[in-house]
């Protein structure tokens, strides 16, 4: 039990990085869509800033996901295929849930 707690504590910074990256990606790409669709004459510099934020968030999310999926040789245990799939599925589920939440908020605000 103690060893699993230590392992999870070592993964916590990467998990938080993944969460922040997902949020920044959703906010960035969503902001670009809002600027493009809501303003009569959007400036490309304004749209570009939102897209860059979205790309940075996506890169953070993917980098943290790969870091979490990396084999843990230092821990003395080799992750199985099921463990890797579970980690990958969890990270993508978090990203899609955040995206769905953002879309729901935008739809509610639009009505």
User: What pLDDT does residue 81 have?
Assistant: 64
Q: How many domains does the chain have?
A: 1
Query: Residue 91: which residues within 8 A CB-CB, separation 6 or more?
Result: 18, 61, 64, 65, 68
Q: What is the pLDDT of residue 92?
A: 77
DSSP 80: P
Range of the domain at 96: 2-110
Would you say residue 87 has pLDDT above 70?
no
**Higher-confidence position of 97 and 78:** 97
Q: 37-73 pLDDT, tens per residue? A: 887 888 888 889 999 999 999 999 999 988 888 766 5
Residue 22 burial (C-beta neighbours within 10 Å; 0-12, 13-18, 19+): buried
> What is the model's pLDDT at position 57?
94
pLDDT above 60 (res 74): no
- Mean per-residue pLDDT, 75-98: 67
């Amino acid at each position: 039990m103690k060893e699993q707690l230590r392992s999870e504590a070592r993964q916590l910074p990467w998990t938080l990085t993944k969460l922040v990256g997902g949020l920044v990606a959703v906010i960035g790409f969503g902001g670009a869509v809002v600027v493009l669709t809501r303003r009569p004459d959007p400036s490309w510099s304004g749209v570009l800033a939102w897209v860059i934020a979205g790309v940075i968030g996506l890169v953070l999310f993917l980098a943290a996901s790969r870091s979490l999926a990396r084999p843990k040789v230092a821990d003395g245990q080799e992750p199985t295929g099921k463990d890797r799939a579970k980690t990958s599925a969890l990270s993508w589920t978090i990203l899609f849930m955040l995206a769905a939440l953002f879309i729901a908020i935008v739809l509610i605000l639009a009505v």
